[in-house]
A and B are shown apart, each in its own frame.
Chain A
């Protein structure tokens, strides 16, 4: 950064508001697609694990290995095959959500006390009804907790997709680094932190609203 330059030049900020808004939108869209796709895949995997519990170990092993690969490295491993594209970004982002989501969806389902499950079966619930009316509603708090972690993690990872040219707030950060100009860099960094905190708070709120019975036991 140039000597004496303030961290934020407000003129620049105000004249670039539409640009900043577009970056926020891109960031949210990339996050939304990743969480949506990740949840669908994780849900299907969790149902498979519910049917055949022996699948749990291999599924968490594979998703765990993916989770261990650093984000920039995973994107870079994909680039030679899928290019600098949104596909590359989303394959990486979705794979990172899987470990967290599968663990929490399975954990949510398994958190239902066996006597509750037995009673439901005794009352003639089918497997499908047991899942939708008993296991998923009772496991919802744990499942949403997983979604929270996945959302917050993904917001952070989406900044890295800016490096591979997929927009979002990371693009502002990269612009700041490349032009040696603090303002876009600080705005991109601060907004991505704010976005993570705001969405985390929103999901806590949603979780309390949809699972009011957990409030009594929450400290």
Chain B
């Protein structure tokens, strides 16, 4: 009970809401690095996955990248990026975290976009070609709309993994909500630690839920009936 009061007192203190170590700034930092990384990962992985899926080539790579991504411990990746970023004179904080998070965000997007496009009913694709659609049209007007929910599920997994792991950036002097956790541990200031952890957890769940809603909305109207029964379940993702 004392601890709950201490947490509430910490949250109520005005100095924890302003300045560079204030909650709004830390949330903004966290969202900034997560957003930039997620965009970079999607820009790299989505075109490759979709092209692999469309052409039916590269399936081996697409699937194995996912396994590799899952086997890659996030802290290990971050640790390895630290000397690399330093030797490139990019400094601590942002860049090592960015370099560690991008490879973590790629596998879910790459694999899901490959599988999503590949699993579009080949009869439908053939029918589209038979109706005279060009390859680009087949991709844009047939395959992508059908594949959209699964692709977005991949982006969701990637985004949640990135938001979660961005926390570790504080270990290499980065900003974001991980600061509260790392500083709270170092100073044994448990209310700070607890609030930081709570904010990270809430942020990940918000991202997860927001994308799930988006995923449902993205189901093309012609398919909504057919897919209403399939459950959207959480996939394993790199952590």
A170: nearest residue on chain B (CB-CB)?
A: B75
**Complex: how many Å from CA A60 to CA B74?**
25
Q: Is the CB of B80 within 8 A of A177?
A: no
Instruction: Count A interface residues, CB 8 Å.
Output: 51
Query: Which residues of B in the span 156-209 have a Cβ within 8 Å of any Cβ on A?
Result: 160, 163-165, 167-168, 171-172, 178, 181-182, 184-185, 190, 193-194, 196-198, 200-201, 204-205, 208
Q: Is the CB of B198 within 8 A of A77?
A: yes
Q: Which of A7, A76, A100, A152 contacts B193 (CB 8 A)?
A: A76
Contacts of A74 in B (CB 8 A): 197, 201
Contacts of A112 in B (CB 8 A): none
**Complex: how many Å from CA A45 to CA B165?**
29
Q: Is the CB of A80 within 8 A of B200?
A: no
Query: Which residues of B in the span 78-94 have a Cβ within 8 Å of any Cβ on A?
Result: 79-80, 82-83, 86-87
Q: Is the CB of B197 within 8 A of A77?
A: yes
Task: Assess A177 versus B239: contact at CB under 8 Å? Given A67-B234, A72-B200, A79-B190.
Answer: no
Instruction: Determine how close the nearest CB of chain B comes to the CB of A44; give it in whole angstroms.
Output: 21
A28 interfacial contact with B, CB 8 Å: no
Q: Which of A73, A174, A200 contacts B200 (CB 8 A)?
A: A73
Q: Is the interface of B mostly helix, strand, loop or mixed?
A: helix
Q: Is the CB of B71 within 8 A of A70?
A: no
Q: Is the CB of A72 within 8 A of B236?
A: no
B216 interfacial contact with A, CB 8 Å: no
A99 interfacial contact with B, CB 8 Å: yes
Q: Is the CB of B86 within 8 A of A1?
A: yes
**Complex: how many Å from CA A173 to CA B164?**
19
Q: Is the CB of B76 within 8 A of A192?
A: yes
Q: Is the CB of B185 within 8 A of A76?
A: yes
Question: B-side interface residues toward A, CB under 8 Å?
Answer: 3, 67, 70-77, 79-80, 82-83, 86-87, 160, 163-165, 167-168, 171-172, 178, 181-182, 184-185, 190, 193-194, 196-198, 200-201, 204-205, 208, 233-234, 236, 238-239
Question: A-side interface residues toward B, CB under 8 Å?
Answer: 1, 7, 60, 64-65, 67-77, 79-81, 96, 99-100, 103, 149, 152-153, 155-157, 159-160, 162-164, 169-170, 173-174, 176-177, 182, 185-186, 188-190, 192-193, 196-197, 200
- Considering the complex of A and B, which 3 residue pairs feature the smallest CB-CB distances, nearest first? A70-B164, A156-B73, A76-B197
- Other than the given A7-B83, A159-B76, A193-B76, 16 more pairs (CB < 8 A) read A60-B233, A68-B204, A70-B167, A70-B201, A71-B239, A74-B201, A76-B193, A76-B196, A79-B193, A157-B73, A173-B79, A177-B82, A189-B75, A192-B76, A200-B67, A200-B71
